[in-house]
Amino acid sequence: MKNTNWITFCTKAFIVSLVFLVSCEQDNLDETTLIPLFDCEGVELSIGDLCESTNGNGHFGIISANCECEFDCPDNQWMIGNDCIDANGNVGTVNANCECETGQQLDCPDLGLNIGDPCVDANGNTGVVSANCECDTGQQVDCPDLGLNIGDPCVDANGNTGVVSANCECETGQQVDCPDLGLDIGDLCESSNGNGHFGIVSANCECEFDCPDNQWMIGNDCIDENGNVGTVNANCECEL
């Protein structure tokens, strides 16, 4: 009888324990906390993960604590030490200054050349790039406006040949008193009305005639209003 009671007691204790355990499991299910798969669900990545650039350059940044894709060089979305392509299409490596170092950096970027490279100057002369990043053609001239050196032969605006002076002027030995006319004082100068008369260059560098109205000179041939040929008299009339 004692054994029977003991078995009954143990059975009841087991049932109570089982109910308690089941109750605890149910409580645990109600309080379950879901652990997210990513720190940054918006991009489905975690802090420290690699993230691809948005400009298509093939570089990868790192997800920051703010869930942003960060790069060493934000402007280009580059990472220092990665491969890069410069503005001229040369492949290089991103340096600590966020520059694409290609090993083809030029001494003279404005010329697009290195010191010692062949070059062509603005006048079409070939030369070599100097240490000052200038195209040294061996034809640097004393007078750039003329494109000539002092002592070189030259041709002035009137077509006269001469020699370049120390003032970078073309001295022809035919310098004239009146450059605008290309004539000296006292030279003959042609009328502007096509009558074939010649006046004389005055001290004011004007072409003067005895008879300004007709641009005649006294004693020269003339044609009157009727088409008759005569001679200009002292009164500036065409005397037949």
More confident residue, 107 or 105: 107
Task: Give percent of the chain above pLDDT 90.
Answer: 20
Q: What is the mean pLDDT of residues 96-113?
A: 79
Q: Which of 1-10, 89-98, 120-129, 141-150 has the lowest mean pLDDT?
A: 1-10
Residue 146: pLDDT above 80? no
Q: DSSP label at 4?
A: H
More confident residue, 98 or 147: 98
Would you place residue 70 in the very low, low, confident or very high pLDDT band (cuts 50, 70, 90)? very high
**Residue-level pLDDT at 163:** 79
**Residue-level pLDDT at 1:** 46
Q: pTM for this one?
A: 0.32
Rounded Cα–Cα distance for residues 46 and 130 (Å) = 55
Would you place residue 202 in the very low, low, confident or very high pLDDT band (cuts 50, 70, 90)? very high
Would you place residue 19 in the very low, low, confident or very high pLDDT band (cuts 50, 70, 90)? very low
Rounded Cα–Cα distance for residues 217 and 234 (Å) = 9
Q: What is the mean pLDDT of residues 222-236?
A: 89
Q: What is the mean pLDDT of residues 32-39?
A: 74
**Residue-level pLDDT at 101:** 80
Taking the CA atoms of 117, 123, 125 and 127 in sequence, report the sign of the dihedral they define: negative
CA distances, 216 to each of 91, 200, 204 (Å): 81, 11, 19
Query: Where would I find the beta strands (DSSP E) of 156-228?
Result: 161-164, 170-171, 188-190, 198-201, 207-208, 221-223
Q: What is the mean pLDDT of residues 193-200?
A: 85
**Residue-level pLDDT at 61:** 92
Rounded Cα–Cα distance for residues 166 and 149 (Å) = 9
